Amino acid sequence: MARTNAKVTVTQRGRVIYESQVPAGPFRIQDINETVSGDLHVKIEEQSGQVQEYDVSTASIPFLTRPGQVRYKLAAGRPQDWDHNMEGGFFTSAEASWGIANGWSLYGGAIGEQDYQALALGLGRDLALLGAFSVDVTHSRATLPEGSAYGDGTIQGNSFRASYAKYFDDIDSRLTFAGYRFSEENYMTMDEFIDTHNDDNDRQRTGHDKEMYTLTYSQNFSAINVNAYINYTHRTYWNQPNQDSYNLTLSHYFDVGEVRGISLSVNGFRNEYDNERDDGVYVSLSIPWGNNRTLSYNGSFSDDNNSNQVGYYERIDDRNNYQINAGRADNGATLDGYYRYQASYADIDVSANYQEGDYTPAD
């Protein structure tokens, strides 16, 4: 959840896979390739200068393939850091899934470079009315540099995972359990391996995953125009205390007189990262005003910061739109806005923000 207009960067295995500007409030990362799975690291850089960081686990439907068909993917390259600089060695990876018969799929993959290799093998089953289920195991082998936070020499380990997904057509809801994952102490992910070669000790992760399970449930109550979304993640580590994160969102769409399409959303959350906890509530209200204008209110109340913001958005035509926001947070008054022009050859964005005691010019 972003407390202000913010830059969101998502990395996996030490490389940047998603980067976007988002408005204040809860956001969903929807532009990531559907083949991306596993743990993601999210970094939110607020206009106020505050930075939020946490890990999330993707909750995807088990990897299934139609009988008689084969799906595969090949990739090669080098990872990028937060500043888009190349780091680490040259990696190659391959993934494949084969639809055997009667709803069964065999899938696997491999990734590696000179000092790191990982091999995965799994089996998925379409359970028809009962949903879909899969299990897999990944084996890793890593040769560590001298003096790394993870030790020295060569280590090998396994990670086991189970995934389940079910869509309930009758009540318009989806349940995803992705999964239970257990990792042995000597198992190492690619992003952990890349961190061992970074001289900045602050960037070497202190948590070494042991167990993790994620539960995601969404429900649409169409009769009363309410959507509910719940996500809960529990993690245990080999070398630090357990962490729990949750996100509960209720959204209601309604009309008042001639004003149609009013949206009210309440979001409760807990984020834990590097032994720090942030609990809070976020409230969002959006009121259409005419055909192309919207008034909004966003309120964020958490352990780290409290803020209130009102906004005005207008779409001038199919190519031009702008938004202005004003509010107050614990550290002072805020004012920000942007203008966007969508040309046939490029999108042009101009934005600026003011924070009491600080100022960020247009960019």
pLDDT in tens, 179-232: 789 999 999 888 788 878 765 554 455 567 899 888 888 888 888 889 898 889
Q: With H, G, I as helix, E, B as strand and everything else as coil, classify residue 69.
A: coil
Question: What pLDDT shows up at residue 310?
Answer: 94
Report CA torsion sign: 37, 212, 135, 116.
positive
DSSP classification of residue 80: B
pLDDT in tens, 298-329: 998 988 788 899 999 998 988 899 999 999 98
Q: pLDDT-derived band of residue 39, with 50, 70 and 90 as boundaries?
A: low
User: Hey, what are 339's tokens?
Assistant: 């203008």
Distance CA 133, CA 178 (A): 10
Distance CA 46, CA 283 (A): 18
Question: What pLDDT shows up at residue 142?
Answer: 93
The full DSSP string for 38-52 is SEEEEEEEETTS-EE
Question: What pLDDT shows up at residue 202?
Answer: 45
Question: What pLDDT shows up at residue 203?
Answer: 45
pLDDT in tens, 58-85: 545 566 888 889 999 999 988 776 666 7
Maximum Cα–Cα distance for the chain, whole Å?
70
Please provide the size of the chain in residues: 363
pLDDT in tens, 14-24: 567 777 777 76
pLDDT in tens, 257-309: 888 889 999 999 888 876 778 899 999 999 998 888 999 999 989 887 888 99
Asked if 320 contacts 327 with a C-beta cutoff of 8 angstroms, the reply is no
Domains and CATH numbers, the chain: 60-360 (2.40.160)
> Please, what is the average pLDDT of the chain?
81
Q: pLDDT-derived band of residue 3, with 50, 70 and 90 as boundaries?
A: low
From 42, 39, 44, 41, select the one nearest 21 (Cα to Cα): 44
Q: With H, G, I as helix, E, B as strand and everything else as coil, classify residue 341.
A: strand
